[in-house]
């Protein structure tokens, strides 16, 4: 029971719901000529950069997480096999959460000519972002009154979490605009249609409270707070008494449509030695490649579930003691919890209609330097943009900021060492390898303190392409006319 009270109190404070989130970061191969269909997700113009006539990512999976809210640890509760446990981080600070996963399904890229390429496929994606103002929490806190007591200096209290998951189908085209002696200029665009699988948001704002001195025990009364949370209505359609197939069909039938698009450009500075050799593959032996792309400009659309709520203000005499009574072990469902909330707040309503959650829109600048035949150095800057945030401010955010990636790469084999600085200032050292059709890597190599294992992530992709080796064409010897 004590554990349940701790979990409920902390989740109430952070307004944190469970969920997965998805992004598009096969970071090691960003800027690479051999990224193929995986590279299209980072810059649609890159579909023309590959010397391969086609490639198909049969399956790809990517996970990325950054949080100071909890940590993972192996422990031996019975002295036998170690188990993995999640623990809440104690202390007085801002809580943050950003999680990303991406599932690629049959992502194809086809070069239709020397000047055009097309790409298409399906992805399952999501993004979850959460943050709170500074508050103090230790695992010995068992009730709301104690929490309010240790946070008298942390007012007003604010927290939010936004989660969006969707399935998308996309089509992309890349065009060569210029192919001169010294440079190549390619443009690309991707259009994506999606179905919102699940959306959730929760916000606490303007939380204020004061202390009343009592002979035995001081009481801490909540004087102001605004609360709202919502979820997608297709979650209401899940019926445990029905079969899985029936539930999935109803779930998808009640999902809403959304859309997004990507734009990209690449400027390739040719290797002039290869040009002088009349090499018809000079665009693949460059000295510099500059890319810029606008990614995920769009949104997923959802309809409010029946238990979504919006409140403002509080009723008199709502304190830590009364909150413990209202939110005890009898709260076993969202409906019951809403009934308890309604007895404590000043104004209560159930929002209806649709809500949108914008995708993690960002502008990406990428520079790739070919140092030798197989050695490259890539640098990338990613800047988040909230261009399509809804009136409620519901948006998700990418965690990438600056990444430097040296790599040694050929068509079949590759070694990559990305060094990243995230938007929150954390530094990750990653590693990845490619062997034939398999790419595997870590966003952050899983080493360090016991409270850092939950930060980082990994990616895996299986990509097939033409089996013949790419041989560098030799320079042509042209006899001078007599």
pLDDT of residue 108: 97
| Contact status, residue 244 vs residue 258, Cβ threshold 8 Å | no
Flag whether pLDDT at 409 surpasses 70: yes
Confidence band of 272 (pLDDT split at 50, 70, 90):
confident
Flag whether pLDDT at 228 surpasses 80: yes
Q: Which residue has the higher pLDDT, 40 or 475?
A: 40
| Contact status, residue 437 vs residue 38, Cβ threshold 8 Å | no
Q: Which residue has the higher pLDDT, 275 or 342?
A: 342
Flag whether pLDDT at 19 surpasses 60: no
Q: Which residue has the higher pLDDT, 10 or 234?
A: 234
pLDDT of residue 282: 52
Measure Cα distances from 355 to 62, 139, 230, 302, 476 in Å: 27, 36, 9, 5, 62
Q: How confident is the model over 87-107, as pLDDT tens digits? A: 788 899 999 999 988 999 999
Domain range annotation of the chain: 2-464
pLDDT of residue 455: 87
The CATH architecture assigned to 2-464 reads Beta Barrel (2.40)
Cα(327)–Cα(9) distance, integer angstroms = 9
Residue count of the chain: 482
pLDDT of residue 403: 96
Lowest mean pLDDT of 248-252, 411-415, 417-421, name the range: 248-252
pLDDT (mean) for 70-96: 73
CB atoms within 10 A of CB 124: 18
Confidence band of 473 (pLDDT split at 50, 70, 90):
very low
Confidence band of 217 (pLDDT split at 50, 70, 90):
confident
- Tokens 């704002």: give the residue: 205
pLDDT of residue 276: 53
pLDDT of residue 3: 36
Q: How confident is the model over 333-351, as pLDDT tens digits? A: 899 999 999 999 999 999 9
Q: Classify burial at 330, counting beta carbons within 10 Å of its beta carbon; exposed 0-12, middle 13-18, buried 19 or more.
A: exposed
Q: How confident is the model over 318-335, as pLDDT tens digits? A: 999 999 999 988 888 899
pLDDT of residue 17: 34
Cα(351)–Cα(228) distance, integer angstroms = 9
pLDDT of residue 16: 36
Residue among 43, 172, 37 at smallest CA distance from 108: 37
pLDDT (mean) for 242-263: 90
pLDDT of residue 273: 73
pLDDT (mean) for 126-148: 90
pLDDT of residue 471: 44
Flag whether pLDDT at 482 surpasses 70: no
CB atoms within 10 A of CB 256: 19
Flag whether pLDDT at 285 surpasses 90: no
Confidence band of 138 (pLDDT split at 50, 70, 90):
confident
Cα(365)–Cα(385) distance, integer angstroms = 13
Confidence band of 449 (pLDDT split at 50, 70, 90):
low
Cα(109)–Cα(288) distance, integer angstroms = 23
Mean confidence (pLDDT) of the chain = 86
pLDDT (mean) for 55-84: 77
pLDDT of residue 76: 56
Confidence band of 2 (pLDDT split at 50, 70, 90):
very low
For 183, half-sphere exposure in the C-beta direction (CA atoms, 13 angstrom radius) is 11
């Amino acid at each position: 029971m004590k554990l349940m009270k701790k979990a409920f109190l902390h989740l109430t404070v952070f307004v944190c719901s469970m969920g997965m989130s998805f992004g598009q970061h096969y970071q090691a191969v960003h800027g690479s000529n051999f990224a193929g269909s995986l590279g299209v997700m980072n810059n649609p113009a890159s579909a023309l950069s590959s010397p391969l006539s086609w490639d198909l990512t049969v399956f790809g999976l990517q996970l990325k997480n950054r949080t100071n809210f909890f940590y993972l640890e192996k422990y031996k509760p019975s002295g036998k096999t170690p188990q993995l446990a999640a623990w809440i981080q104690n202390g007085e600070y801002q809580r943050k959460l950003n999680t990303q996963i991406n599932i690629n399904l049959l992502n194809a890229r086809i070069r239709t000519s020397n000047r055009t390429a097309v790409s298409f496929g399906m992805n399952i994606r999501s993004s979850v972002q959460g943050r709170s103002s500074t508050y103090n929490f230790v695992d010995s806190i068992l009730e709301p009154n104690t929490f309010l007591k240790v946070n008298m200096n942390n007012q007003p209290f604010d927290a939010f979490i936004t989660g969006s998951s969707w399935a998308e189908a996309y089509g992309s085209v890349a065009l060569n605009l210029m192919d001169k002696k010294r440079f190549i200029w390619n443009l690309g665009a991707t259009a994506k249609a999606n179905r919102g699988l699940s959306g959730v948001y929760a916000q606490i704002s303007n939380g204020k409270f004061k202390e009343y001195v009592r002979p035995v025990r001081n009481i801490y009364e909540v004087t102001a707070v605004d609360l709202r949370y919502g979820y997608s209505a297709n979650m209401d359609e899940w019926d445990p008494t029905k079969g899985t197939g029936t539930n999935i069909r109803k779930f998808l039938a009640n999902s809403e449509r959304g859309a997004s698009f990507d734009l990209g450009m690449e400027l390739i500075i040719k290797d002039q030695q290869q040009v002088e050799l009349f090499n018809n593959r000079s665009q693949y032996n460059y000295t510099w490649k500059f890319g810029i792309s606008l990614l995920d400009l769009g949104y997923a659309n959802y309809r409010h579930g029946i238990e979504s709520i919006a409140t403002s203000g509080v009723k008199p005499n709502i304190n830590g003691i009364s909150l413990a009574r209202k939110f005890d072990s009898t709260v076993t469902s969202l409906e019951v919890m809403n009934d308890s909330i309604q007895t404590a707040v000043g104004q209560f309503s159930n929002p209806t209609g649709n809500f949108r959650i914008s995708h993690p829109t960002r502008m990406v600048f990428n520079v790739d330097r070919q140092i030798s035949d197989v050695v490259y150095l890539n640098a990338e800057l990613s800047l988040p943009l909230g261009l399509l945030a809804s009136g409620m401010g519901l948006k998700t955010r990418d965690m990438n900021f600056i990444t430097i990636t040296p790599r040694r790469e050929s068509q079949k084999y590759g070694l990559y060492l990305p060094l990243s600085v995230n938007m929150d200032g954390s530094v990750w050292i990653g590693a990845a390898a490619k062997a034939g059709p398999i790419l595997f890597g870590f966003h952050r190599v899983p080493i360090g303190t016991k409270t850092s294992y939950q930060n980082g992530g990994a990616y895996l992709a299986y990509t097939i392409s033409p089996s013949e080796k790419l041989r560098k064409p030799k320079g042509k010897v042209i006899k001078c006319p007599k």
